[in-house]
Structure 1
């Protein structure tokens, strides 16, 4: 089983869903975390990241999350804080459905009016009408999975006719080096509120359910981090601050195919739904025994 999962994780690496780091990239990351104010060392780390599109100043970390060049030092300092806490033995080993934390607060769609999300589907960016239709239907189905899972959470997704009136944009980015897809957290600046799919999303060798990929990306929009965020053997650790919402679920929609977790369908599990409901109806984590 482990050998199979290792092979699947390798496939994921080639399709860019997971940022598998080379030894050089790992060393560059380690050095940058230790020296986030050293411009030369930080630049060496940036050179190991995927910039999509080239020249945009947007870089991909943790597989499908974007940060700007200017945000890299802050990202590294957050990593330093997490690493220091772990070294001191004071940090919780956190592998649950996890919400992002910004300025000490949960990073989610806190106000009811913010949960009425609108989106503009930029069909002009796609290579064909078939790929556009596939993306749109996958997004609609993925969004429906979340809204049906918790009607009382008050989250909705409505298509609008222009980017100016939309909460976010869905588009295709023709960058062969990009991941399968990428999204944003609620705390991101509005000009970064985009879901983008890349050529890998349409690859004949892509084994992941495309609706599932959208479910995963929508999870980020709702504020959820990756399930395998820290100390899951066989998975990459990630930076930033975060808090667990539910017990660890290897099959979570937010879990990459790494370690002994992940799934091809990227479906919502009962703990995903429970965590979503707790955060969006109570504004807090679910009660569970650690």
Structure 2
């Protein structure tokens, strides 16, 4: 459900139908509380971060996120309802995926400002990229010639990989984002965490899944696991609790780590096809 965002003043009188004025007083208070609790990146133009690593461009997008969450809450009761699948993002009724012209040319740079961790980031990004490209018809290519100028304004690469100081492990982007928003941002905690079976490579595998258009698997579980609404997506496979796109803390106790499953690859291949190397190998056999 789409509504127009307007700022909350003393009275909600000028918002028009289908807007914030449709909210109950409790929901208005809920929005104000939610808005106050959401983390915003500290730098100029910093995004609002929801559900751990989903970046929303501005307060309008954050308000729509809240409205989508309310719509789901009104329709769904309980926990663990409607478990389905690897999910692809949808924009304007179409799958939000990389175009044919881009999917084999997803070039990136790794900022030298990682300092002593630069080599580790280069190596681990390459491994995470191969984890998708070895199975699925995409390619993510490191252009080391751009590493000394690895910024969000560098149009010689499709996206940049940069260090930041923030509360998340890392965050990425979706295929429809413009160049300035196409970043994989990594904090120092990503290098050392073991929370829920995570490791640095697993975190990057998850984030690169977002760059291919994949949503969080755990949004099918509803509260209390996530505030991310189960909207604007399409199911690709049956529900997979072990998916790399599923937060470990949202799994049953003693769940797995942070790696792609065969269902992840099946869902990804349904959009991007099989990795060319696998097709050639199959043909030879």
CA 1:85–1:43: 2 relative to 1, 3 Å: closer
Aligned mate of 2:129, from 143, 147, 154: 143
Alpha-carbon deviation of 1:113?
Answer: 3.2
Confirm whether residue 246 of structure 1 aligns to residue 237 of structure 2. yes
Take 1:168 and 1:275, find their aligned partners in 2: how far apart are those partners? Answer: 24
- Listed as ranges, the gaps of 5+ residues in structure 1 are 1-31, 283-290
The normalised TM-score by structure 1 is 0.72
Alpha-carbon deviation of 1:265?
Answer: 3.9
Confirm whether residue 267 of structure 1 aligns to residue 259 of structure 2. yes
Take 1:33 and 1:157, find their aligned partners in 2: how far apart are those partners? Answer: 48
Query: What is the Cα-based RMSD across aligned positions, in Å?
Result: 3.0
- Listed as ranges, the gaps of 5+ residues in structure 2 are 1-19, 275-285
CA 1:171–1:224: 2 relative to 1, 3 Å: same
Confirm whether residue 281 of structure 1 aligns to residue 281 of structure 2. no
Alpha-carbon deviation of 1:264?
Answer: 6.0
Find the counterpart in structure 1 of residue 118 from structure 2: 132
CA 1:85–1:187: 2 relative to 1, 3 Å: farther
Alpha-carbon deviation of 1:261?
Answer: 7.1
Q: How many residues align?
A: 239
The normalised TM-score by structure 2 is 0.73
Take 1:233 and 1:84, find their aligned partners in 2: how far apart are those partners? Answer: 12
Take 1:111 and 1:80, find their aligned partners in 2: how far apart are those partners? Answer: 36
Take 1:218 and 1:148, find their aligned partners in 2: how far apart are those partners? Answer: 14
Question: What are the residue-to-residue correspondences of 1:26-37 with 2, within 5 Å?
Answer: 35=23
SS of the residue corresponding to residue 228 of structure 1 reads helix
Larger radius of gyration: 2
Confirm whether residue 165 of structure 1 aligns to residue 151 of structure 2. no
Find the counterpart in structure 2 of residue 188 from structure 1: 177
Deviations 1:213-252 (Å, cap 9, x if unpaired)? 1110000000001111122676225224111101111111
